[in-house]
Amino acid sequence: MSGQISIAPQDLVAWIIERSASTDRYLFGIAGPPGCGKSTLAERLGAELDAPVVPMDGFHLSNAELVERGQLGIKGAPETFAGSAFVDLVRVLRQANAMVACPTFDRMLDETVADRVRVTPDDAVVLVEGNYLLIDEAPWGELAGLLDDIAYVDVPNDVRVERLIDRHVAFGRDRVEALEFVRR
């Protein structure tokens, strides 16, 4: 991985093409806090690069398991993901020798959906996005060595919080409940 640099989103496609030219499989991570726009950026880059997007959100624990653990109210925190399984998937993606089916997260269902993204051996660039790609603690800390580069998406906190509240309202929470969930 390279050192820290700043790149405007509109320059990322050319940068990724240049960086990926010397490898069979280039894994580009997009990290940032919830509501910063990383999924939107990943989808845009994926369309422009004709590259699959593998979201960490596909590794949310099920709502039933979160209820059993007493963690539904903090869904989205690091401990509410199958982090080791996500790291294992990225390790498999590192090799470009087989088709890999990857889960996603359906916001309408509020659950993961298996096998929605397919990464083929011909996919030279794979975009991996999620909140915890840059966390140093296990198991997340292994990702830095598996991804070729990681971009961190940064927006002002007030913008991010408003986006999150709007997202939760759009998917069924009232505004007060959404605000409380985002604060937690």
- Which residue from 73, 4, 10 is spatially nearest to 41, judged by alpha carbons? 10
Q: List the pLDDT tens digit at each of the 184 positions of the chain.
A: 456 677 787 899 999 999 999 999 999 999 998 888 899 999 999 999 999 999 999 999 999 999 999 999 899 999 999 999 999 999 999 987 899 999 999 988 889 999 999 999 999 999 999 999 999 999 999 999 999 999 999 888 787 677 777 776 777 778 887 777 767 7
Give SS3 for 5.
coil
CA atoms of 86 and 83, how far apart (whole Å) = 5
**Predicted TM-score (pTM) of this structure:** 0.86
Check whether the bond before 52 is cis (ω within 30° of 0).
Answer: no
Residues 147 and 26 sit within 8 Å (Cβ to Cβ): no
Beta bridge partners of 104: 113
DSSP 3-state helix, strand, coil percentages of the chain (rounded to 5)? 45, 20, 35
Please provide the distance, in angstroms rounded to a whole number, between the alpha carbons at the two ends of the chain: 33
